Every structure is written in C-alpha cells, then in structure tokens.
Structure 1
Amino acid sequence: MTGPYAGDPELTPEQEEVIQQPAEAMTLVTAGAGSGKTHTLVRRLHRLVQEEGLRAREILVLSFSRASVRELRSRLARDGAAAQYVRTQTFDSWALELLSEIDSHIDWRSQNFEERIRATTRAIDAGDADGRYEEALRHVVIDEVQDLVGERREMVEALLGRYDCGFTVVGDSAQAIYGFQSQDPAERPGEFFIWLRNTFGEDLVELHLTRNFRARTEEARLALALGSKLQLTDRVTAPGPHLYNRLRTALGGTLEFGSLDDQFVCDSLRKYDGTSAILCRTNSQALLTSELLHKGGVAHRLQRAAQDRAVPAWMAALFRSVDASQLTRSQFDEVFPAVPSVGDLDRDTTWDLLIRHSSPRGRRTVDLVGLRSALVSGRIPDELTAQPPSALLVSSFHRAKGLEFDRVLVTDPGPLQDGRGTDPDEEARMLYVAMTRPRDDLWHLAAPDTRFIRKDDRTNRWGRYHWQRSWRLGLELTSGDVHSDQPAGAYGFAGDPTELQQYLETAVLTGDELVLERVNDETDDQGHSPPYLIRHSDRLIGAVSDPFRSTLYRYMQLGRGSNPRSWPALITGARVDAIETVVGSPLSGASSGLGPHGIWLAPRLTGLTWFSYEKKSREESVDV
C-alpha cells in the first residue's frame, strides 16, 4: 500500500464495513478496547471527504476527552489528507463556540461547563443553531459515547434529533466509567444507547469492532473475554459484583511486582526499556505511589486531570523574543531551535496552531496580544498543552482511559465496599479499563496504605490525618498554588527576576523536591494562612498564591468559624510538576526587566505534602 496509510495494519472486514457506510447512514459502532477505533475513524473521515464528496466544514467530530480529540487531530493531520480540516472538538469547547456565535454579547466563559451545556441544548431546541447547521451539517462523528450522561447526553440527543444528517457514533459500554457524574439512575451510562435505538429504530446500523490490536500476549488479553459481559444492554442490566470479583481474581493471578520501597523493584522500573504505567483506583493512591517512586529515585509523571492544563515553558520564550506585538515567521524560526520542549510537534504545525489561535483569519504573523488573551482565557489548543511523554506514568484508573503501554502494573483495588454510594457495575468497568491498557505485560501491585488519607470536603483536596482528630499532617498541592501576578523575585522576597527566570528554565526539573517555608505567623481577616515561600535546593523560586493560603486556612480549621491555632513551619514533599508559562501584570514584568507582555515562568506544584511543626505549635494543636 502507498499513500498516507502505508505501513498500517490491513483493515479487518469489520473496519471496512464501518468505513464504507454511506454519508447519510446512521451508525452505532461498538468498539472494544484496543480495537483500532481511532484508525477506523480517521479512515472513515477520509472516505467521507474524498469519496462521498463532503466538505470538511460539513462534518463535525465531537469527543468526551481532550486526549481523544488531541489523538484524532494528530492522526488526521498526519494521515487524513483533506479530512485534516474537519472540526474536531470536545463537547465543552464546541458548546462554547456555538454559544459565542449565537449570542456574542454574553460572556459565556464566565459560566461553568454545565451551564453552557444546558444553554446549548436550549439553543438547539429553540432553533437558534439552524442557521449554522440546518443545511450545512451532513455528518456527525461522536467518540466515547459510553461516557455521555446527564446534560451532555441531552445536548447530543438534541443535536442528532433536530438535524437531518448522517452520524457515526462510537463507544464501548464496557468502558463506561463516568456514571458518577450523574446521581440520577435514569441518567446513568447506557441511556444514550437506548435513546439511539428507540429514536432511529430500523434505520440505525449497528456494527462492532471486536479484534484487539493492542494486546500482544495472553497476559495482556486476560480481561478482554469479560468485555461483552460488561456491556450495557437495553435494560441497562447490571453486571453486578460477580464480574468485579472475577476481574479482581484474574488480576490477583498475575505476578506481583513487589513493594515500591524495595530498591531492587525501583531499579527494575528504571531499567525497563518500554513504556510502563502504574494504575491506581483513586488519586490518593496515585499520590502515595508517586511519593514512593520519588523516594526510590524513579523518574515518572503523575497524570493530571484532563481539564488541568499547563502552558509549556517554551511559550514564554516566544514572548521574550520580541518587544513588539507581532511575531513574524522568521523570528519564530530563530526561537524554535532553542525551545526547551515542543513534544511531537514540528515547526510548521506549531506555527500554524499559534496563528490559528491568536490572529485574525488571513494574518500570517502571530498576534502576541491575541495569544496573551488566549492564555488568559484558556483557549490554547490541547496540542500545545499536552503533558510531555514519560517512560513511566502514574495514574488513577479514570485518567488512564484511552491510553496504552507496554507494561501495566495495576494496584489491587480491594474488595467492594458495602454502601457509601459504591456502584459495583462501574467499579467492574473501571477495573476492566485498567486491565486492558497493556500491550504485553500485566502485573498486580499492593495498594498503598491510605488509612490516614482522606478527601477534605471543604477544600476538595486529599489530606493527611492522624488518629488524633485535631492533627493535620499534610495537604495535596495542585495547579494555581504558586503566586503568578508578579514574577519570582518581585513578590514575597527580593531577588533578580531575570536571573531567576534563567534558573527556572535551566536548573529546576520536573520531579525536583521543593520546600515551602513559613515567613511569619500572620493571618488576616480574609481567611488566609501565613505566607509561605518556595525553596528549590538553596534558592527561593517563588511564593504561594492567595488561593492556596485560603485553602490551607480552611484545611487547618477544626470546624466552620474556628480559627487555626498553629501552622506548619515547613511543608515538605512538594514536587515540581512542570515549569509553566503564566500570565501576570505587564507593569510588573516590565519593571522586572522581563519585557512588556506580562508573561514569565513559574513552577507548578504537585504532591501530597508533609507538615513539619515547631514543637510549641504541635502542643497547641493537640490541646484544641
């Protein structure tokens, strides 16, 4: 075979049947784990444009996750020929774009995702989108439909129900793991499949992709046989605890990898040549696993939530390269070789993405004012904010969905817990997702001890606790915990901002340990903890943000309205998640010698920390 698909596996008859459906066909594809779904969709889109005669703007591709959208865009750009121009968006970004076109006078970004989704459904039902879609929409492709629940499901049903267009919807109900997003049983996974069958009846073409291209060993195929039993039926028949126990028993029958506090085990993780993942039932387990790996000197990456995006450090280099408001292609080409990291993106693709998201249509320079605005509003494309690759990933089951690795270590999720809102069906599907990530090797791993780790309801963060109720021993760090309105050295402590930017760019690495040092004991009437500075080795590199101080204050309260009586002198166990580009005060940036744009670097924190108290403070906290 020649052309864009040279070297790809030969299409199966099942894939061919999906690809060859006419443009007006209404098709539901059940695609099992590792079944070549993305490649099939790319080939389907290619055929719609090249052979069915659809224009790219007449096709809409929607998906649940940013990772899925990013993968589709990447594959279309590489293989899709004319189909590379097809719109590919998450449900949320598409809803925002549509609402902004329908009524640009409303600040839709100030509303949360769910409000925008509801508004989009109302707009479609009212006919407000007819001018855009009634004649111009000929085919809709929707990926990951098993995760459509609640208001997103209603929005997609409104879209498909109103417009006379073909569609290709793809999902695997065995991997439906987002039912927790809706508390109404009528809105649980499976309802969208029922709606499709009831609405389109005999016109609905149901196809299946059953061949697994991912798993290359019997071990990696261990859970696949249960996939069909986990799929939801028209009655949303629950697979029940039985399948969860079968999956857990199968996992327990794999080899145990060993304890992560064993140096020999850590050495084996470091020396492995392929890609690996350690998958945990909860994010608290992932945080503790990451802590053990750091202690063992094992480099790894902790998977962020899909919506938790960091703007890469190289973006700040673009702004530093010019004082003007426009960046030309020649200036970009001069900077590009020195960019610290651009992932898999080549020069031309990066340039095109910057143009598309910063400048009016037709302009061939990057409008830095527009790009800064995109940074502020979070409109930077996913391709530019994807986490860099790592040989070892630590993730929760949820966040690993759609990923694959040569070797996977799954932590034992333990027996099902009675009550507490546990859904045995969803627990079974989550474990199935975790166990179907490997290409070659599947191991099991003992779960870390989380007896004194729990989610703090007031801050929505994981915290460390003690059997004595009043003790607070540590708190999870997340994005936004570092002050970014002024650059390091211009706030909280005196330093040379220019020199500190160079230090952040060259000396501070992902995974490096940081210490947060309390400056004084002063709180304020706004509910802020004392200020803390951030130390890397022997250098101060930043200060914590006001939102973090507010979060720490609430975490330290023993009850609503109470005033914390003690504060940790040091907060240890913090790690560098990334050095990211942040937006702050242009005036502060200019006075600090960092140019007129108000763009610079700051550390992004992660980790489940430890609190270190002065002895007197500990005694006070125990007396409370």
Structure 2
Amino acid sequence: YPEITPPSISTTFETHPGIVALAYNRHAAVQIRRRLEELIGDDAGGVTVLTCHGLAMRLAGASFSGRLERSDNPPDNNAFRDVIRRAVDVLQGKGLPKAEADARRDQLLAGFRWILVDEYQDIDADQYDLISALAGRTREEDAGKLTLFAVGDDDQNIYGFNGASVEFIRRFEEDYNARPSYLTANYRSTAHIIAAVNAVVAPARERMKAEHPIHIDRARENDPPGGPWETMDPVARGRVQILPVDGSPLSQFQAQIVMGELLRLKELAPQWDWCRCAVVARAWTWLDPVRAFCEARGIPVQMGNEAIPSVWRLRETQALVAWLRNRTPPVVDGATLETWITAQPSGPWYALLQQAVADYKLEAGGGETTVAHCIEWLAEWSRDVRQRQQGLLLVTAHGAKGLEFDHVAVLDGAWNHVRQGEDPDAQRRLTYVAMTRARHTLLLARFQQAHRLQDGLARHPAVLCREPIPVQPPSPAMEYRHIRAELKHVDLGFAGRRPSNDPVHAAIAALSPGDPLKPRIGSSGCLELLDATGRVVGRLAKAFQPSTGMRWRSATVLAVVVWSRAQSEPQYQPRIRCDSWEVVVPELVFEPEGREARF
C-alpha cells in the first residue's frame, strides 16, 4: 500500500513508537518487515511484526517448539484456536475484578499504542475476538484503548470454508467508529488485466469497493494497456486470453493447450524464467496432468501442495536446533546463523533453512537474540513455510493468495463448486484472486460449456477469445502421478524397532534427498523401500494405497526426518529399542496398471 504507508507509519513513529503489525501468517509477516525496511529504513525496527498466532502464544505463555515436540501434536489448527481463546481470556482478565483485569491488560500491552492488522477480511471469529481485546473495543473509557488500523479487501475474502468471515471487515466502521480509505491503485497488473478482473468481480453482491474499482497506479497510467507484451506478442497483443478446451480426457487436453500457449510465449521472451510463472486451478487434481506434461518435457515444475514433511522434524532442522542448544553463551545473531548454514552440505532442505536464516536476519536486525527466542521463531516459521519457487508453480487459487507472477494461466474445472460455509459469490472472489496474481500475461482456460464467471468477458475489449487450438492426443506420460508421502503415510517406527547398532541406521544416515529407492510389496502387504544396496530402509503404512487402477512406478528420497521415543504414541513404545532414529519419507511416481513394470 505505497500510497499511504510511508507517511502514515513515519509520522506515527515519531510520536507513538509502540506499533504492532499483525499478519495472517509468517510468510506475510516477513513480507511486511521487508516492505517496512524499504519504506522507512531503520525506523522499521520500532515496529513489532507478529502473526495472530504468534502474539497469542506470547500472551498465553505457550510454546510453538514445545507443542511440535509432543507426540499428540494435532494435525489441525484446533490447538492454536484454543491458544487464541486463552490469550483473549488473559487480555480480558477473565475471572478477575475489573480494576485488576484492566491493570493486567495495561501491563501486557505496555508500550503498544497502534495496531495494524493486515488481510482483515480473512480473520475468523477467534482472531476477531483477539483483535477486539487488544484494541480494547468494549472498554467504556478511551484511556487504555489502542488505535486500530485494518487493511483488507472484501473482494479477496476466500477462506469462508475455514471460518473466516467477510462480515468482520464490513462492520469495521461500526465496531470502531472508523473512517474508510480506499486503496484502489494496482501496482502489479497491466491495464488489460485490471479491466478483465473488474469485469469478473463486479457482479458480486455487497461489495465495499463497488463504487471504487481498482485501477492502474499513477506512474503507469501512460503505459500501453497491454504492457510490454502489447508489442512483444503479435497474437494477443497483451490482452487476457481465453483458451477453449475440448477433447477427452478434458484435464489432459487442457494441460496440453495451456502449456502449449506458455511455450509459445516463452519463444517470444529471451529472458523467460519459469520461476516467474504459475498455473492456477480450483482444485489440485486439475494440476496433475500439467505436472506430468512438464516432467516429460524437462520443464522445471513445482507443486504448491507438496507439503514439506514436518519442517521442524527434518534432519536438517534438527541439526540446526541441536547446534543452537549447544551454544555457550546461549545467544546468536544473524551473521553467525548465516556462517553455520553456509557450511552445511547442499540439498533442498538446507536451502530451505537458508530462507529461514535470511528471514530471521531481517526480523532480528543486526543484534543478538537468545537461543530460546531463535528456536521459538524457527518453530513458528516452520508451521507455514513456503518453499522458494524453483520452476513453474502449480497451485490452487487459495494457495496463490499473496503471490505474484509475470505469467499466469488459470485452469477451468470445478469453479462452480461452493464449499460449506461459503456464500454464492465465493467462487467469483476466488477467481478474482487467481487473476490478480498476474503481472504481464493472463490465460484463462475454458471448457465448451456455460461459465458464469467468464461469460462477461466474451466481448470485452481487454480480452481475446482464441479459436480452438489443435493438439496431439495426450502421451502415456500424461497419466503419471507424482505423490509426496506425508508422515501419516509412513511407518514412523520402522527403524526405531531396531537397536541403535543395527545396520539400518547407518544405511538411512547415508541417504540424501533425491537418492533413488526401489519399492516392493513386503510380506506384510506394505510397500517397502530399498536403497541402492537392496537393504530395506523404510516402509509405508498399511493405510497408504495407490489410486484405483494405478501402481508404483518409481520412488526417491524426499526427506529424512528425526523421530524419537518421546514423540511416539504410548501404544507403540513397548516395541521401541532406541531413543531416537531417522525416518525415510519418499516421493512416489504412479503409472496406470497394465504397463510393463519399471521397478
């Protein structure tokens, strides 16, 4: 929000240094910190940037790292919702006399005078209560209330299925007697993309910006509407393209048409970078054929749903944590962290930790922090880390939120599906989010049927409706499926049921991410994983089975995680024969049954 952030933050900082900014997740918090550094320099150090969960954990005296170490660490966010409720109780002084409750709140929030909440349209009821308690909304007297500044866009409210409610931002004026300012300048997309986006979202009901459509920023007002691609592309001339899709199976033909168009654009751009491109879909299944297309043709590709298998428990993360805990005295600074990470072997997970170190240096500045603080920060960072893009990103519209790309293709399929808790305009807003990720070019695939979200674009001057593009029948490789196993898919106690001097531990220790594995069905009926010497180094859980009609084709080491007796469920502990061990987590490739086995 460049048009208001520098003067408002700078002016406020001069008289009220106690500013706290609340972000939706750790990734967003890092982005806010980076933006503040760019805008106000050293004054950014006076702004505390936290996630709602991070603030709640501090207020409630809870620990991210402690929770991640427990065997009953839940797979969902219910535990963190409980922490937010506990934080609200603390701020409201539940069970205390009013005077004592007010005194406790003032002590907890000493030094804070201003609150900035980013992505306010995505808060849920618990976060609303936390922000309300922070601001002192229900206090009768003004003394002790904090000034609240919320930034949000009701057109980007897309998490209704997860409890977020657009009603909170719509009633913000009433809740806080606030004055709205409309931040409608778009600093990202071309004028053609902006025009198409406005046409898609305009029919949505109860929009706060209905009379204030987004527009290109002042510095680019005289640019060609299609941006640089107006002259680079003789076909689309910078317009948004609608690509018709026909054929069976639809998903595979769609993948070929969309990727064929991206490859055509690539030939027009000498500096093309797949790391600046994305294919966005409503659901993950529509992206599988796109990945298969890229894998078969050597196009670097990355699936946005490839959950990193418990970043906290990765071998590499635990090595960092162990090094931190052994430091004397127990303090660390960014430069020391950087020296340590630079000395580690190459690999995807140490590269991921390099991101963590860079983010921590940004947040901590140049000074030392305690080891305990660093570990706690790392534990929170590991909850919602985003791996740096290393190729064409395949992602859902929900997963694309907060990202931007030079070139975006939006797949058709399932856009009429409304989840429980969503209103009828939820998919229109989701389409708005998907389209606004694009900077230079935007492709919209369309099946040959009615499409209420695209119908208004057919004759729009910013849009080119292409004629059907002929493609060859899909190759067999388009049917391959690449699956990253999750911890719930793996027999976590496989190596733990063997003594510490068993050769399996050395065999696992010798493995690195990317090493080939040979899958086979063991005597128990579970899939076993063999290393290059033929030793069994892991096993999948019985519950993990390939999709109907598919079988194992190949496997590689995705990651190695550290597990322990203390993290194991009580019913499994009698069979454990060592205190800690490593677990191989594989990445698997499936192919349709009936083909020659490639094991």
Per the shorter chain, which TM-score range? 0.5 to 0.7
- SS in structure 2 at match of 1:151: helix
Q: Is the 8 Å Cα contact of residues 356 and 381 (structure 2) preserved in structure 1?
A: no
Residue 121 (structure 1) aligned with residue 88 (structure 2) = yes
The Cα of 1:407 is off from its aligned counterpart by 0.5
Cα distance in 2 for partners of 1:94, 1:333 equals 26
The Cα of 1:302 is off from its aligned counterpart by 1.4
Distance change >3 Å, CA 173–CA 348, structure 1 → 2: closer
Identify the match of residue 136 of structure 1 among 103, 111, 114.
111
Question: Structure 1: which amino acid aligns with 2:355?
Answer: G
What residue in structure 2 maps to residue 112 of structure 1? 79
The Cα of 1:97 is off from its aligned counterpart by 1.9
Q: Is the 8 Å Cα contact of residues 478 and 606 (structure 1) preserved in structure 2?
A: no
Distance change >3 Å, CA 498–CA 606, structure 1 → 2: closer
CA RMSD of aligned residues (A): 5.3
Distance change >3 Å, CA 139–CA 400, structure 1 → 2: same
What residue in structure 2 maps to residue 532 of structure 1? 527
Cα distance in 1 for partners of 2:196, 2:522 equals 54
Unaligned runs of 5+ in 2: 95-100, 139-143, 211-238, 246-251, 448-480, 568-577
Identify the match of residue 579 of structure 1 among 559, 562, 565.
559
Q: Deviation per CA, 1:19-65: give whole Å up to 9, x if none.
A: 545xxxxxxxxxxxxxxxxxxxxxx2x5433x2x333xx32221223
The Cα of 1:519 is off from its aligned counterpart by 1.6
Cα distance in 1 for partners of 2:383, 2:361 equals 10
Q: Is the 8 Å Cα contact of residues 561 and 585 (structure 2) preserved in structure 1?
A: no
Cα distance in 1 for partners of 2:430, 2:405 equals 17
The Cα of 1:211 is off from its aligned counterpart by 1.1
The Cα of 1:345 is off from its aligned counterpart by 4.7
* Equivalences for residues 396-435 of structure 1 within 5 A: 396-413=396-413, 416=416, 423-435=423-435
Unaligned runs of 5+ in 1: 1-10, 22-43, 183-187, 237-249, 448-472, 522-529, 557-566, 588-595, 615-624
Distance change >3 Å, CA 310–CA 597, structure 1 → 2: same
Cα distance in 2 for partners of 1:443, 1:495 equals 53
Cα distance in 2 for partners of 1:544, 1:444 equals 42
Q: Deviation per CA, 1:45-92: give whole Å up to 9, x if none.
A: x5433x2x333xx32221223321231233345654232353322222
Cα distance in 1 for partners of 2:168, 2:436 equals 24
* Equivalences for residues 160-175 of structure 1 within 5 A: 160=135, 161-162=137-138, 164-175=145-156
- SS in structure 1 at match of 2:179: strand
Q: Is the 8 Å Cα contact of residues 574 and 609 (structure 1) preserved in structure 2?
A: no
Q: Is the 8 Å Cα contact of residues 280 and 395 (structure 1) preserved in structure 2?
A: yes
Question: Structure 2: which amino acid aligns with 1:444?
Answer: L
Question: Structure 1: which amino acid aligns with 2:130?
Answer: M
What residue in structure 1 maps to residue 544 of structure 2? 552
The Cα of 1:159 is off from its aligned counterpart by 2.9
Residue 210 (structure 1) aligned with residue 158 (structure 2) = no
What residue in structure 2 maps to residue 359 of structure 1? 371
- SS in structure 2 at match of 1:140: strand
Question: Structure 1: which amino acid aligns with 2:521?
Answer: R
Distance change >3 Å, CA 425–CA 136, structure 1 → 2: same
- SS in structure 2 at match of 1:388: coil
Cα distance in 1 for partners of 2:387, 2:561 equals 14
Structure-2-length-normalised TM-score: 0.64
The Cα of 1:296 is off from its aligned counterpart by 3.8
What residue in structure 2 maps to residue 54 of structure 1? 16
Question: Structure 1: which amino acid aligns with 2:437?
Answer: R
- SS in structure 1 at match of 2:311: coil
Cα distance in 1 for partners of 2:559, 2:256 equals 28
Q: Deviation per CA, 1:113-161: give whole Å up to 9, x if none.
A: 2222333333333365514445532011101011123332233233331
Q: Is the 8 Å Cα contact of residues 491 and 538 (structure 2) preserved in structure 1?
A: yes
Cα distance in 1 for partners of 2:209, 2:260 equals 50
What residue in structure 1 maps to residue 158 of structure 2? 177
Cα distance in 2 for partners of 1:304, 1:418 equals 20
The Cα of 1:172 is off from its aligned counterpart by 0.4
* Equivalences for residues 463-478 of structure 1 within 5 A: 477-478=485-486
Q: Is the 8 Å Cα contact of residues 256 and 293 (structure 2) preserved in structure 1?
A: yes
Question: Structure 1: which amino acid aligns with 2:180?
Answer: E
Question: Structure 2: which amino acid aligns with 1:430?
Answer: L
Residue 301 (structure 1) aligned with residue 302 (structure 2) = yes
What residue in structure 1 maps to residue 521 of structure 2? 518
Q: Is the 8 Å Cα contact of residues 357 and 380 (structure 1) preserved in structure 2?
A: no
* Equivalences for residues 417-456 of structure 1 within 5 A: 423-445=423-445
Q: Is the 8 Å Cα contact of residues 59 and 90 (structure 2) preserved in structure 1?
A: no
What residue in structure 2 maps to residue 200 of structure 1? 176
What percent identity do the matched residue pairs reach? 17
What residue in structure 2 maps to residue 253 of structure 1? 242
Cα distance in 2 for partners of 1:413, 1:301 equals 20
Residue 146 (structure 1) aligned with residue 121 (structure 2) = yes
The Cα of 1:385 is off from its aligned counterpart by 4.4
Question: Structure 2: which amino acid aligns with 1:253?
Answer: I
What residue in structure 2 maps to residue 191 of structure 1? 167
Q: Deviation per CA, 1:568-605: give whole Å up to 9, x if none.
A: 996446676x5365354699xxxxxxxx99586x6545
Q: Deviation per CA, 1:242-292: give whole Å up to 9, x if none.
A: xxxxxxxx9773587975358967966998425111111013333454344
- SS in structure 1 at match of 2:355: coil
Structure-1-length-normalised TM-score: 0.61
Residue 70 (structure 1) aligned with residue 30 (structure 2) = yes
- SS in structure 2 at match of 1:442: strand
What residue in structure 1 maps to residue 280 of structure 2? 279
Q: Deviation per CA, 1:336-368: give whole Å up to 9, x if none.
A: 33333213855992996999886257xxxx8xx
Cα distance in 2 for partners of 1:84, 1:136 equals 14
Distance change >3 Å, CA 307–CA 301, structure 1 → 2: closer
Q: Deviation per CA, 1:540-576: give whole Å up to 9, x if none.
A: 684246xx43x438x99xxxxxxxxxx9996446676
Q: Deviation per CA, 1:485-537: give whole Å up to 9, x if none.
A: 67699699975645643440xxx33xx8866432213xxxxxxxx44323577
The Cα of 1:222 is off from its aligned counterpart by 2.4
Cα distance in 1 for partners of 2:554, 2:87 equals 43
* Equivalences for residues 202-241 of structure 1 within 5 A: 204-216=178-190, 218-219=192-193, 221-227=195-201, 230=204, 232-233=206-207
Between 512-521 and 315-324, report the one with greater CA deviation.
Answer: 315-324
Cα distance in 2 for partners of 1:270, 1:309 equals 36
Distance change >3 Å, CA 423–CA 580, structure 1 → 2: farther
- SS in structure 1 at match of 2:255: coil
Question: Structure 1: which amino acid aligns with 2:379?
Answer: R
- SS in structure 2 at match of 1:87: strand
The Cα of 1:173 is off from its aligned counterpart by 0.4
Task: Give the structure, 1 or 2, with the largest relative contact order (CA under 8 Å, sep 6 or more).
Answer: 2
The Cα of 1:426 is off from its aligned counterpart by 0.4
* Equivalences for residues 465-504 of structure 1 within 5 A: 477-483=485-491, 495=503, 497-498=505-506, 500-504=508-512
Distance change >3 Å, CA 290–CA 233, structure 1 → 2: same
What residue in structure 2 maps to residue 28 of structure 1? none
Distance change >3 Å, CA 331–CA 75, structure 1 → 2: closer
